[in-house]
Structure 1
Amino acid sequence: MGSNSIVLLLWKQLRPRQWVKNFLVFAALLFSFQLSNFDAVLLSFFGFITFSFTASSIYILNDYKDREADRNHPVKKNRPMASGLLNPSLAIGLGVILLGLSLISSFLINKQFCLILLVYFITNVLYSLYLKHVVIIDIMIIAFGFVLRAIGGAIIINVPFTPWFLLCAMLLSLFLAIGKRRHELTLSLENKSSHRKVLDHYSLPFLDQLTSIVSSATIVSYAVFTFTAGDSIHLMWTIPFVIYGIFRYLYLIHIKKQGGAPEKVLFEDRHILVTVILYAVSVVVILTLFE
């Protein structure tokens, strides 16, 4: 196999498409009026890269551990290690390098941010080994990972984060995690995917009730966040985007039977993508005009 093919396999193994989740690191930069601060922008970008590299090291570890089982899965069998095209030792070596670079560089720049990365890595390893099989805790751990991204984004540029900001991040993350579990359960009941052990403890009515609670709480929390945002109270004009985005995602989950991969929905559903773009533009304009 040529060197170009190996590089492409390694790139695929990193799952760069999943890195879209790490854009939450930029939230603190956006809401703290730091967009014109070049140093803050660079630090946020550094945070995004290190979170992405750390996440990729976790993906490598998961794929290495599950490579035998993945070979019997209709989709996962095409993953680089499961397919036999990528040497597992080479992949593990890359994962160690990425994790080492992320932790060492972040330690040199900001020790608190390094701690956040370390907690993120350890939590995800525990999730992979055991916690993903514990009902309710599994979706809470997924949400915790997003909260760590939001906190890390604030710490790396040394700005305070409000409780309402973190609550919004946590609730939105729970909303996406519950939607993911519902999608997996739906496919499992239709015998179209492998069966997760934890799905035995869930039911569609239960997940629908959780979705109703969390989606309502997310909208209310975001509204309170904008109303208490001080000089940027005009962020309240972005509430319709948040409501529509949540309603659209609920439509995709319940009607279109999607929601298994939020990052995939973001790029494939035009309505969600346009809503996210309009929301981001609106926030930038509002914070710029009323700074």
Structure 2
Amino acid sequence: MSEKSTICVDLDGTLIHTDLLYESLAKLIKEKPLLLCFLPFWILRGRSFLKKQLADRISIGVDSLPYNHELLAELKVCKERGNRLVLVTASEERLATDVARHLGIFDAVYGTTAENNLKGENKRVLLSNEFGAGRYVYVGDSKADIPVWRSAASAWVVVSGKNPLNGVEDIVADRIFKRDINRLRVLLRTLRVHQWSKNVLLFVPLMLAHRLKEVDLVLQAFYGFFAFSLCASAGYIINDILDLDADRQHRSKKFRPIASGEMPLKVAFLLVPLLLIFAGMLSWLLPDKFLLLVVLYFLATVSYSVWLKKIVLVDVIVLALLYTIRIIAGGAATTVPVSHWLVVFSMFLFLSLACVKRYAELKMLDGSDSDKITGRGYDSADINLIGRFGVSAGYISVLVIAMYVHGGDVQNLYTLPEVLWLICPLLLYWVSRIWLIAEHGKLNDDPVVYALLDRVSYLVAGLMFLVMFLAT
């Protein structure tokens, strides 16, 4: 490559680890969902028209996009050496111009217009006319770029999976920028499989009714577990799509697969209906009430992602409800009655955990430039009040256990119900400890995930099970 060569750089999947078409669609869904009714008509008019309509109605936060920093660093070096840099992309031209203006290293920008989708052969023709065939370097990432590489003096290839030049014998890559991605690991992280542990709550009614030995009911509980898990994963993906901007500004959430670009937005959009279909198929094997609860849960999670999480206090109450719905659904899946004691206990305990989640997020604001949680309605002044709410709710859950042990219902299930009193100090210790950890700033933004990695939590849970066994 000559020191003065023109370097033409693709945008989607090359300079950024995402696609601005799907970024625009995600932004439209979040900010102007009513316009989705026009989407089929825009698609019928062609991709160029679709891109223009999306660009006319939304703006992309180009400062927080997941840039290919290795390539960007190399381009900056080339710029210093005197190379002319040109951004040429199938993304809408105005969006591409915003990216170029933000980076400040490009001498020219070419993008898709209403008349011309600048991809593949169209891109080759434009670059050959502007710079001459064989007189520019082209940086791309997909098989659609093969015609352009054939016309370029040098091929630079960005690889994030399979090399697009595999099997192409007449093109040799002079530079390869490789991003190693474990697709299976990325998929599991996108689905948040570790969060499926929360759906173990569906087994609680069966366990407390002492019916875990009934194989057919356990099998039904497993069907319910996987149905809820798949439905929850669909909800997580929707949340991550809608929260792209906020996640990319968060110190840890920016590494999530969708926010970081490891999981392509196109694939994420496809995963949602697939997960819901499989969840529906599993739910169909169970009583109708369970299916209704799955639908209710999904609608609640979407409402939370779109709107409810921004409303102070409503958000933590909804989170507590989502946990409680899991327990009620466990009863529906197995036709095991769920006592009002269990429902009330669940609401207060999970309200406490929801509050500690917000408390931990507010605690993270200490020493930062912001006094608000991104995408939430809380600011740093709320931390003490949220702490009081959460600790009170946790202690009330202990009180509910005490009232249950003292009541008459317990006599029907346990031969030594007085032993169950030992659960109260164990739960009191665990709730107090989780709040103490949060106060010291050592709790991440999800107390359930913390508990799954915490040996003390396992010890306390084991002791509780031992107490229940001795009381039986």
Q: Same fold (TM over 0.5)?
A: yes
Bigger mean CA offset, 233-242 vs 89-98: 233-242
Query: What is the aligned residue count?
Result: 287
**Larger relative contact order (Cα-Cα within 8 Å, sequence gap ≥ 6):** 1
Structure 2 partner of 1:158:
335
Q: Any idea what the Cα deviations from partners look like across 1:237-272, whole Å, max 9, x if unmatched?
A: 322321221122122122354252112221333212
Report the Cα distance in structure 2 between the residues aligned to 1:256 and 1:84, rounded to whole angstroms.
29
Structure 2 partner of 1:271:
456
Counterpart AA for 1:227: H
Do 2:290 and 2:333's aligned partners in 1 also have CA atoms closer than 8 Å?
Answer: yes
Mark the CA change 1:259 to 1:170 in structure 2 (over 3 Å): closer, same or farther: farther
Measure how far apart 1:156 and its partner are.
Answer: 0.9
Mark the CA change 1:192 to 1:215 in structure 2 (over 3 Å): closer, same or farther: farther
Do 2:246 and 2:374's aligned partners in 1 also have CA atoms closer than 8 Å?
Answer: no
Q: What is the aligned counterpart of 2:368 among 184, 191, 200?
A: 191
Q: Any idea what the Cα deviations from partners look like across 1:81-101, whole Å, max 9, x if unmatched?
A: 222222212122222111111
Higher strand share: 2
Higher helix share: 1
Structure 1 partner of 2:229:
52
Measure how far apart 1:192 and its partner are.
Answer: 7.9
Task: Determine which structure has more spread, i.e. the larger CA radius of gyration.
Answer: 2
Report the Cα distance in structure 2 between the residues aligned to 1:250 and 1:85, rounded to whole angstroms.
34
- Given the alignment of the two structures, is residue 235 of structure 1 paired with residue 416 of structure 2, yes or no? no
Bigger mean CA offset, 69-78 vs 119-128: 69-78
Do 2:360 and 2:441's aligned partners in 1 also have CA atoms closer than 8 Å?
Answer: no
- Given the alignment of the two structures, is residue 120 of structure 1 paired with residue 297 of structure 2, yes or no? yes
Q: What is the aligned counterpart of 2:434 among 224, 249, 257?
A: 249
Counterpart AA for 1:220: L
1:1-291 matches, cutoff 5 A: 1=161, 5-191=182-368, 195-200=374-379, 203-228=382-407, 229-231=410-412, 232=414, 233=417, 234-258=419-443, 260-283=445-468, 285-286=469-470, 290=472
Measure how far apart 1:60 and its partner are.
Answer: 0.8
Report the Cα distance in structure 2 between the residues aligned to 1:10 and 1:74, rounded to whole angstroms.
21
Q: Any idea what the Cα deviations from partners look like across 1:203-235, whole Å, max 9, x if unmatched?
A: 122112212321221110011123332232243
Report the Cα distance in structure 2 between the residues aligned to 1:203 and 1:276, rounded to whole angstroms.
31
Report the Cα distance in structure 1 between the residues aligned to 2:284 and 2:233, rounded to whole angstroms.
19
Q: Any idea what the Cα deviations from partners look like across 1:138-185, whole Å, max 9, x if unmatched?
A: 100000001100101111111111111100011000000010111111
Instruction: Note the aligned Cα RMSD (angstroms).
Output: 2.2
Do 2:357 and 2:446's aligned partners in 1 also have CA atoms closer than 8 Å?
Answer: yes
Do 1:147 and 1:169's aligned partners in 2 also have CA atoms closer than 8 Å?
Answer: yes
Report the Cα distance in structure 2 between the residues aligned to 1:259 and 1:78, rounded to whole angstroms.
15
Report the Cα distance in structure 2 between the residues aligned to 1:259 and 1:83, rounded to whole angstroms.
20
Bigger mean CA offset, 226-235 vs 245-254: 226-235
Query: Does the residue aligned with 1:146 lie in a helix, a strand or coil?
Result: helix
Unaligned runs of 5+ in 1: none
Do 1:179 and 1:259's aligned partners in 2 also have CA atoms closer than 8 Å?
Answer: no
Mark the CA change 1:131 to 1:25 in structure 2 (over 3 Å): closer, same or farther: same
Mark the CA change 1:137 to 1:200 in structure 2 (over 3 Å): closer, same or farther: same
Report the Cα distance in structure 2 between the residues aligned to 1:202 and 1:210, rounded to whole angstroms.
14
Q: Any idea what the Cα deviations from partners look like across 1:47-87, whole Å, max 9, x if unmatched?
A: 21111111111111111222244333332222212222222
